[in-house]
Amino acid sequence: MNTTIYLPTNAKSQLEQSEGWWKPMPYKEQPEAGFTCKVYFTEEEMQDSPVEGKTFYPDRTGCLDDWIERMELVKVPKVTVPRKKVNVKPGDEIKMYFHCAGVTSNEKMAVVKIDKKYIYLENEGNPWKFDMATGRCVNDNTAFGASRTIDKLL
């Protein structure tokens, strides 16, 4: 039975250039960013204990050149995090916070519009535009360090 591990992405070139002295290196059991150099060992090669804990010891195996040739780079599977659904719709009221001089006040404001990244709150003629991920107002016209925010929605 073969054992597969994932070494740092530059492991193959690092071992080829090391001229007989190979430092231990960390490994992962699944590919992830920075660990995309796939190598497998046969049962016979595993008897030399090339892996211990989460560390790979290249000097413990007698067939270094053979398995260096078997090393291959693999792509890391892209993990997509589903976006949180916003449970706010136009016409709802949410709290807007006004921060100034160390004091924070809040008031309920009506939602005018929502798109993928921004939520717009009522304002005379020109709605306030808030980034739903950060909660910060992106078209704020305040001065003296004042700012407007809402609770993060994404």
CB 153 within 8 A of CB 115: no
pLDDT at 38 over 80: yes
36: left (phi over 0), alpha (psi -120 to 50) or beta: alpha
pTM of the model: 0.50
Dump pLDDT digits (tens) for 64-102. 677 788 889 998 877 776 767 788 999 999 999 999 988
DSSP string, 14-44: HHHTSTT----EE-BSS-BTTB-EEEEE-HH
CB 64 within 8 A of CB 22: yes
Chain centre distance of CA 122:
34
Amino acid at 47: Q
